[in-house]
Structure 1
Amino acid sequence: MRQTAFDATSLSRRFDFLEACPEHLLSEVVTLPIGTLEERVNGVRAWQDALLLGHLPAVTCWPPASIGNPVRLALQSLGILRFTRGQPDLVDTLIKDILAVFAERQDSFQSKVMSRLRELEALEHQRLEADELARAKRKKHLPRAIILDPGCLLRLQIQAEGEQSAQLVSIDAGLYDLWSERVRAWASIADVFDDLGQMLGRGWDLTRGVLRHSGWLDLLRLRKLLEQLPRLREIIQALGRLHLSEDGESVSERVFVPMRRLAEEMRQIRTPHIPNEMRGVERSGEIARMLPAEATMLVHPQLRLLWHARRADRSLTTYRVEGVETERVGAEREVMKEIEQKCPRPQRGPIISVIDTSGSMHGTPEQVAKALVLEVLRTAHAEKRRCLALTFSGTGDMTEHELDLSPEGIGSFLNFLGISFDGGTDIGGAMERVVSRLKDNDWKKADVLLVSDGEWLAPERVISMVKDARNEGTRFHGILIGSANRHGFDTLCDHIHIFMDWEHAGGGQVR
């Protein structure tokens, strides 16, 4: 009887599909009592991939609708799908909670099925007993004991499962309540910043910290103010266009670069597989090349077995043949090629916002200035640019806040919102600090935005310093809040935007 060798690798190949299961979810997937193990692995992977893309998996995807639909309704009602896109940490946490809900609903579903199954078995038992009593009465003998056969039990179980699956599926309240507070908080932040950036990956504690900050209410008011001031938003959008090259010029240069080209060559290889010429005798198992003396052994009745043994050992005396084979091969060669390339001038650098926080800016100008910084921050975040807010008033009263959507940047911006505008106006000290910052590598290519009411005159030394920075490529943009005294802006800025929309901002007459 032929025996086949045991293939030890067949056991591991049977579970190759487990490689698709995220390692941190393996224990939950293995113990989940819904479907086969392979169905669970593929289903969890489908849920993870869909949530990372910001939508739900197909309706036909695992698990069955009676268990999966309440979760789908909860996720849709929460509005959490807008936040799961590209956020693996959030998706991993959410899927763990989803799997826990699946397990709970499966237990509840099975409990209801068993309860209904017992009711159906009792009704079927009563029906069969009544039929047996009637039959026994007609035939005048004792009734037989009623036992439900396996076929009947299977039919009743299918009926019980179908009835439970057909019931109206409601939203899963547990999952909704677990995530509703967090999603509402994220939605509040997203309404201000358009998206959460990298904040979702930082955890729930950061979100709560932002919402509890004293400057958060100011931030909400500023966001509403921006919606009421379309002119202010147009200024920021125009500022973004000014970041582009005004003449569209670019630097063209001719350079020599090494390039590797694939050339085809013909190569001759000596090989025994082409019998063009005989080169001697050798031992092998090739019957076509064996000597005539070996062939005589094959037909001899006593030497035939010896011939077979020698062939098996590849020890037959055979001719050694050799030939030349020509083949095409690809060979890389390095050559120097002259090319012309266009190098666009660097136009998009960081943004330095210089905000006048003197006493003359108190009130509505202060709110407009802070709303302006909020819009600049949003623009810098969208364009992946660094953003620095420098506030100044009297001599020595100057602060710097580097703003972004990191935990530190959000906290710094909220602290900036808490600053009260008061004091004098030291434009010289502020612009000297800006020019000093422009010499740092991180801020060398920055665009400078000056926001003030223009109640100052710049010293000559500062005008000279700013002029030198402008000659080196830095552009100074000014936003004059009000129309009074723009002479100082003319000496410092390339482009000046005048804001006078006080009616929507709630302000009074322009000074």
Structure 2
Amino acid sequence: MLGIDALDIAVLLADAEMVEAAFHDLMGRSQLMPLVEQNKNIKTLVRNQLDKWKNKVTSKVKQVAQSEDLQTELALYQEVIHWNEEQFLFEIDELVVKLEPLSAFYPEAYRLVNEPNARINPMLPHFFCHQWYKSITESVKKVQQEALEKEKQQELDELYQRLEMLKQMDNLDAPQDTSSIAGRLWDMTSVNLSKTDWSVMKSQADFLKKHPKLQEIAETLGRMSKQDPDPNEPPQYTQGIEYEEESSQQATDDIVGIHESDDLNKLLPNELLFLAYPELEVVFYKHLIDKRLMNYQMQGKVRTSRKVKAMEPHPAKAEDDIGPFIICVDASGSMRGFPEQCVKAIAFALMQIALAEDRECFVVLFSTDYVTYQLTKQDGLREASDFLSYTFHGGTDLEPAISAAIQQMQTAKYQQADVVILSDFIAPKQSKELIKQVDELKQKKNRFHAISLSKYGNPELMNIFDHHWAYMPNIGQRFVKQK
């Protein structure tokens, strides 16, 4: 054999070394980013992201070495190394011609073959194949390195973008700690938002800060799904441990007297005098056997435990019982102005709670028609910006919005949902069929909440809701829970 028949293995080793070096380079650069240094959760997210990138880029780097010219050259090399010396010298000129359009090795190959006395050198075939092998591996490495650098720069740009978006979320001064929702936000930072998008969300965060009652209702709604008991479920019993204290002579809290015993740890010092004289030593051991050595008498408190059963006032809520938010927002013309700001701010606060608690958040924006937004999907921040930028107009038609919410609740992802309707409720009473659908959904652990922003709302609309709040900005921005 004229050359090395392990080219593919060498190429794969080159892949692994280059990718590993690129991975550590990216890790090192990311560690210098302030947000990564300050937050362990984000550091873990960056590491996971780069682990995924390493697996993905390894296959890409291998593929770039599979160009048609390179594959043709590899096949030719594998053929030539199995020639013998005579065949090599006979076909060398034709081989060099074949290399001219294919390989970067052609100039070197031409030089080696056409040097004076080259063809009478018995080492020419082996040296030629060895140099050819080096040329192929260098070409493969160069192509792979160029592709890897491109992929690395793209990944670095994406990391900067994601971290910048997390920083922007942190700058919103929202009540939810960004570190607690970093995992959900990380998946949502693949989109690039403009300054206008961030400005829209920043204005809602500032509005919530100025009107804490709106944040209060959002947090109350978030807690309700964890606290509301199901009347159809039996009470649960839990087993706990109860501690009691009792007096014991084994406890060493206080010295209460002197008594005869055989405890060497509580021995009075004068008893040791028997051991000082050999003739009295036997007396000491006799007193020890008879338990007649003078000991300090101790007394103290010792804690004992016993298992007890206790009945909880409500069955404990499992984490998977906490369902998603479906927020129906009245976008009619009568809501323009301050009510519009209020409902957008509450929806924004509920989105943050949904992210923190790993819940879905779906918005139905309705007037005479309706538009839907999914705020917790991968491009949820874009959806949130679009929703918050929407201008309210048109009339109020509540029934299509509730129907859209009901349709969403029939999917597996939106079971046991909290439906929150934000409106002035200046609308006609709903149909009996719709009321019946709502009642059926309540039996399946779905909850319906209403937040009214007008004192002129239709009171007959409130009968379908489990809870109802009224926020009256025209009377000192008063916030009242009605039910």
Given the two structures, how large is their TM-score scaled by the length of structure 1? 0.45
